[in-house]
Each structure stands twice: as C-alpha cells, then as structure tokens.
Amino acid sequence: MPRGISLSEIVAAMQFGDGTTVTYFNPTTGEIVRPRTVSEEMAQAPHAARPEDLEPLPVFSEQDEIELARQFADTVDEAEDQQRLRQALASATPREAFESALFRCRIANEWFRFRDDRLLRLAKDWLEAHHLPYIDDITRQAD
C-alpha cells in the first residue's frame, strides 16, 4: 500500500467526474483509475489491476450538487439572496440558474468555499472508512 494518498487527487477525481460513471482507486498503487483506463490497464498488465482490487470512489452527481446547493441556500443570511437561490433551484435548469443567482447575489465565493469544504469532508470520510492513509495536501494536515 502506498505511504499516503493525495487528498487533492481524490477530491479532484470526485469533483471532475461526470457523475454518470464510476472512477476507481487502486489501494495497492495509490492511483486513480478512470473508467476508460480500467480495461486498458488490465489489458496491459492483467495482474496489476483486477476489478475486485479497485475501490469505487464516491460519485458526486448533478443531483448531489443540487442538494448541496439547497443546503447552502439555507445558510445564506440575506433573505433576498436566499429567496433568489431557492427560486433558481426550483427552475427547470436548477444548476445553471443557481450559478447565475450566485453571481447576481455576489456570494459565489461563499458557495465555492462551502462546496469545497463538503467535498473535502466527503473524501476524508471515504478514505477513513476504507482505512486508507492520506496526505492532506489541501489543508496541509497529516492524517
């Protein structure tokens, strides 16, 4: 097992996945294995990464993002901004409307901080649940 997994790599894999496919983690090598490379990796070195050796990373879907946006809206102090965000989330295109409302309300930075904190917590919880040591190269704290 690798000495420590990069927390930022785990968060990035979760954050930049498309939400419809699963990204895997190889606990033996500490590598993130994207869906299209799982079969490639197995074809090149069948002994290196069998599917049963890979751990699926949590999937952060668009629905998860919208639920997180609802949670964020509940934390907004300004009633008018909170109402704008809730209306955006009730629209036909909630993600796009929410992002637009964030910038109109001038609270996008708060949203990104909130979202990053939640993704970081999700990644840490996943790593700890799988008893995988990690290097916190985001907040610079050791596991």
Supply the pTM of this predicted model: 0.77
pLDDT digits (tens, 9 = 90+) for 56-69: 888 778 888 999 99
Mean pLDDT, the chain, rounded, equals: 84
Q: How many CB atoms lie within 10 A of CB 21?
A: 10
Give me the pLDDT at residue 39, please. Answer: 52
List, in sequence order, the alpha helices (H) in the chain.
Answer: 7-15, 35-44, 62-75, 79-89, 94-105, 108-129
Give me the pLDDT at residue 71, please. Answer: 97
Low pLDDT (below 70) residues in the chain? 1-3, 17-20, 35-51, 141-143
Element (H, E) at 46: none
